[in-house]
Amino acid sequence: MTANEVKQSIRNVPDYPIKGIQFKDITTALSKPECLRWMRDEMVKRYKGLGITQVVGIESRGFIIAPAVAMEIGAGFVPIRKPGKLPAETITVSYTKEYGTDSVEMHKGALNENDVVLIHDDILATGGSLMAAVELVKKAGVRKIYANCIIELEGLNGRKYLEERGVDIDCLFGIEVDE
Tell me the β-bridge partners of 154. 176
DSSP 162: H
Active-site positions?
61, 98
Tell me the β-bridge partners of 170. 148
DSSP 81: B
Rounded CA gap, 83 and 92, in Å?
Answer: 8
- Among 150, 135, 143, 147, smallest CA distance to 61 is for 150
Name 174's Cβ contacts closer than 8 Å, sequence gap at least 6: 151, 152, 153, 154
